[in-house]
DNA sequence: AAGTGGTCTAGACCACTCT
DNA sequence: GAGTGGTCTAGACCACTTG
């Protein structure tokens, strides 16, 4: 017997909007894990006692928001986390052509989060966090230097083991090892100059101009799960924006 | 007598897609000028002999593409050009708070377009183009230095008159004086260093790091109508991107 | 062949804006 | 009150994917 699951929409809220919100909650609650299919439109429409078209609009909304992915003939799926290599979108490292980038963990340390990190990660000041330093190379040449902060109870599985075997993409790795799916990110681009230590790691001169990309990454529930600062040669930076 | 205007959709093309394309052509052809309302959904649906919902989807498509704007209870309108002040989105000039930016034309010259300019503007090599140099100030301080290329038969009205009276926003001015509506733009961001002349205009040292934004602006028909290079202090640059 | 999402219809009613 | 776009329904049929 199909228990009818009615959604009440506040005045001023459309029914498909309320349905989308309800589905969103169920997804965040983990009723359908990332990568799995949610029930067919027909089934969901019947379950909520609405017309097919109304449920379709709700699902289309979730698709626009990047929460689910629709695939003609196959079904509607909860989106997996971001694939990964998105950091190199901001830089063009010549010559090397399309060589696969590599990455190496330079340092890993569990620390009490400094005030700014705690604020950005939305954890209590002084709570434990994991700090990584990472060097990305393209065609064997140092290209990007990263400092990454991760909230600690959540990323505990990364405090042990040899980082040499972590592979080149972190986000799929977060999912596999910690069950954390990065679903959305916000990058802020700025400009600066390299400090002496940073310059050495990138094989550039101290004081060399650099582009700085600071990223907050969020999971399905909207929690900030990563705070990353990436530095690279300012001359290699390029980015294109469409304006409408 | 309403002449039925049938659209034939190629196989693999949805009917609303074909309708959107047809409407797009009519808009580009100038049947409804920018800012004016297009006929009501009902009328358009009847004119094309399709259901209301189908025409709605077509119009929604055009709205997504930024070609029209829908307004509940009022109608559907062909979009005006971009408002303007979009260049300062890339920079933060402190202290001044939210002072209104001002602009001054430093130079204006009709020239044979150099090869690169001709390519970008998609005009014949050596055809005439108008080159402007422009300084934007915020709170009285020089902030952005711009070089702007405009294809010439089209922008002829700008070759005469005193540029002092041009006002601070160029795009509305293009529309008013030349009937050119900028509808879309693509910005490419990079970093560089200021040349001696540029540095002087911005009151910075020669060789000072600068952010460079190169913009191609397009009109309704997709023609490139402006090629602009903007320089500003790299330290004032900041930009935020959301990734999904 | 069965099941999925995508398109299209025809119509009712609601919410907003203008006069 | 007249006219606009926005929501919702109920149903038919199509196109794609998979066993």
Do residues A116 and A222 share a domain?
Answer: yes
Residue A108 covered by a domain: yes
Residue B119 covered by a domain: yes
Pairwise CB contact (< 8 Å): A184 & B82: no
Q: C-alpha distances in angstroms, B101 versus A9, A70, B86, B164, B194? A: 45, 45, 12, 15, 22
Query: Which residues of chain A have a CB within 8 Å of the CB of B86?
Result: 243
Confidence of residue A96 (pLDDT cuts 50, 70, 90): low
The answer to whether residue A155 scores a pLDDT higher than 60 is yes
Q: Which of A88-102, B17-31, B50-64 has the lowest mean pLDDT?
A: A88-102
Greater pLDDT, A100 or B107: B107
Nearest nucleotide to B14 by CA–C1' distance?
C7
Q: Which nucleotides of D are covered by protein (CB under 7 A)?
A: 3-12, 15-18
Distance CA B211, CA B230 (A): 8
Tokens of A215: 């990223």
The answer to whether residue A38 scores a pLDDT higher than 50 is yes
Determine the pLDDT at residue B1.
43
CATH number for the domain that contains residue A108: 3.40.1410.10
Residue B5 covered by a domain: no
Query: Which residues of chain A have a CB within 8 Å of the CB of B186?
Result: 240-243
Do residues B43 and B69 share a domain?
Answer: yes
Boundary of a domain, candidates B49, B78, B107:
B78
User: Position of tokens 């300062």?
Assistant: B88
Do residues A109 and A226 share a domain?
Answer: yes
Determine the pLDDT at residue B8.
75
| Beta pairing partners, B208 | none
Distance CA A219, CA A10 (A): 27
Do residues A109 and A170 share a domain?
Answer: yes
Do residues A42 and A142 share a domain?
Answer: no
Provide the mean pLDDT of chain B: 93
Chain centre to alpha carbon of residue B207: 31
Convert the pLDDT of each residue in B32-83 to its tens digit. 999 999 999 999 999 999 999 999 999 999 999 999 999 999 999 999 988 7
Tokens of B196: 């001696």
Residue A10 covered by a domain: no
CA distance B209 to chain A (A): 7
Do residues B63 and B109 share a domain?
Answer: no
Residue A170 covered by a domain: yes
Chain A contacts in chain B segment 129-158 (CB below 8 A): none
Do residues A65 and A92 share a domain?
Answer: no
**Residue of A207, A214, A230, A234 to mutate for B, most B C-beta atoms under 10 A:** A234
Domain that holds residue A94: 87-236
CATH number for the domain that contains residue B73: 1.10.10.10
The answer to whether residue B95 scores a pLDDT higher than 80 is no
Cβ-based neighbours of B16, under 8 Å, separated by 6 or more: B54, B55, B57, B58, B61
CA distance B107 to chain A (A): 27
Query: Can you spell out the DSSP letters for B184-237?
Result: EEEEEEEEEE--HHHHHHHT--TT-EEEEEEEEEEETTS-EEEEEEEEEEGGGB
Residue B242 covered by a domain: no
Number of domains in chain A: 2
Tokens of B91: 């920079």
**Could you tell me the maximum CA-CA distance found in chain A, to the nearest angstrom?**
71
Nearest nucleotide to A37 by CA–C1' distance?
C4
C-beta neighbour count of B215 within 10 angstroms = 20
- Residue B56 (CA) to nucleotide C12 (C1'), in angstroms, measures 17
Do residues A124 and A204 share a domain?
Answer: yes
Residue B204 covered by a domain: yes
Do residues A69 and A182 share a domain?
Answer: no
Q: Which of A104-113, B97-106, B130-139 has the lowest mean pLDDT?
A: B97-106
Query: Which residues of chain A have a CB within 8 Å of the CB of B184?
Result: 242-244
Contact with chain B for residue A86, Cβ under 8 A? yes
Do residues A185 and A99 share a domain?
Answer: yes
Do residues B21 and B139 share a domain?
Answer: no
Arithmetic mean of pLDDT, A79-89: 83
- CA torsion, points B168, B200, B211, A116, in degrees to nearest 10? -100
Pairwise CB contact (< 8 Å): B189 & A185: no
Convert the pLDDT of each residue in B215-228 to its tens digit. 999 999 999 999 99
The answer to whether residue B185 scores a pLDDT higher than 80 is yes
- Residue B62 (CA) to nucleotide D5 (C1'), in angstroms, measures 15
Determine the pLDDT at residue B125.
87
Boundary of a domain, candidates B51, B78, B105:
B78
Determine the pLDDT at residue B5.
85
Q: Which of A85-94, A180-189, A230-239, B177-186 has the lowest mean pLDDT?
A: A85-94
Boundary of a domain, candidates A59, A78, A97:
A78
Q: Which nucleotides of C are covered by protein (CB under 7 A)?
A: 3-12, 15-18
Do residues B122 and B217 share a domain?
Answer: yes
Convert the pLDDT of each residue in A4-13 to its tens digit. 888 876 777 9
Residue A92 covered by a domain: yes
């Amino acid at each position: 017997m199909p228990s009818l699951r009615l959604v009440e929409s506040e005045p001023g809220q459309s029914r498909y909007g309320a349905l989308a919100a309800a589905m969103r909650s169920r997804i965040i609650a983990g009723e359908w894990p990332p990568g799995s299919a949610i029930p067919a439109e027909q089934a969901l429409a019947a379950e909520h006692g609405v017309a097919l078209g109304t449920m379709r609009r709700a699902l289309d909304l979730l698709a626009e928001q990047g929460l689910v992915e629709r695939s003609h003939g196959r079904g509607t799926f909860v989106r997996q986390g971001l694939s990964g290599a998105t950091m190199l979108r901001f830089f063009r490292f010549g010559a090397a052509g399309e060589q696969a980038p590599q990455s190496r963990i330079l340092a890993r340390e569990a620390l009490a989060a400094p005030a700014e990190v705690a604020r950005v990660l939305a954890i209590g000041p002084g709570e434990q966090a994991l700090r990584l330093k990472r060097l990305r190379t393209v065609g064997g040449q140092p290209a990007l230097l990263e400092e990454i902060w991760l909230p600690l109870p959540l990323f505990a599985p990364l405090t042990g083991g040899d980082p040499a075997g972590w592979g080149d993409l972190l986000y799929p790795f977060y999912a596999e090892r910690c069950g954390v799916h990065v679903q959305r990110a916000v990058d802020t681009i700025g400009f600066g100059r390299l400090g002496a230590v940073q310059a050495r790691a990138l094989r550039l001169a101290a004081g060399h101009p650099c582009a700085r990309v600071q990223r907050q990454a969020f999971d399905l529930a909207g929690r900030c799960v990563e705070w990353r600062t990436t530095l690279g040669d300012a001359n290699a930076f390029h980015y294109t924006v469409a304006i409408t």
